[in-house]
Amino acid sequence: MSYSNMMRFVSQAEKEGVTLAEVLTRKLSARDLDEIQADLVEELSSNYRNIEDFMSDVSVPSIDEVLAMDQDDQAGLQSVSGRVLSDDNPLECD
């Protein structure tokens, strides 16, 4: 099912004040629903693999390793914005 068709169903559900599932089961056959479910499973699996591939290159120290660091080592733990992450310097939401 195309994205635009799905968005039409979402819009219809919002207008009627019902769940998307109600609209889908009312408008689509069991076979259509099975195909949509299979497409969603495939898409979610692909997205999960992409995240897993990306995260395989990320190295995050354990809490024990962080606690064992001295101040100079902890200064290297900075967020993308360049601010040191600590309880004394919480990140602000922009």
pLDDT in tens, 5-49: 889 999 999 999 999 999 999 999 999 999 988 988 999 999 999
Strand, helix or coil for residue 20: helix
- Whether residue 79 contacts residue 72, with contact meaning beta carbons closer than 8 Å, is answered with no
Does the residue 89 lie in any domain?
Answer: no
Does the residue 13 lie in any domain?
Answer: yes
How far apart are the C-alpha atoms of 27 and 29, rounded to whole Å? 7
Would the pTM count as exceeding 0.85? no
Reported as a pLDDT band with limits 50, 70 and 90, residue 85 is low
Does the residue 15 lie in any domain?
Answer: yes
Does the residue 94 lie in any domain?
Answer: no
Does the residue 10 lie in any domain?
Answer: yes
Does the residue 64 lie in any domain?
Answer: yes
CA atoms within 13 A on the CB side of 43: 9
Q: How many domains are there within the chain?
A: 1
- Whether residue 13 contacts residue 20, with contact meaning beta carbons closer than 8 Å, is answered with yes
Does the residue 25 lie in any domain?
Answer: yes
Range of the domain at 14: 3-75
Mean pLDDT of the chain: 81
Report pLDDT for 80. Answer: 47
Q: Is the pLDDT of residue 62 over 90?
A: no
Does the residue 32 lie in any domain?
Answer: yes
In the DSSP assignment, the letter for residue 86 is: B
Report pLDDT for 87. Answer: 57
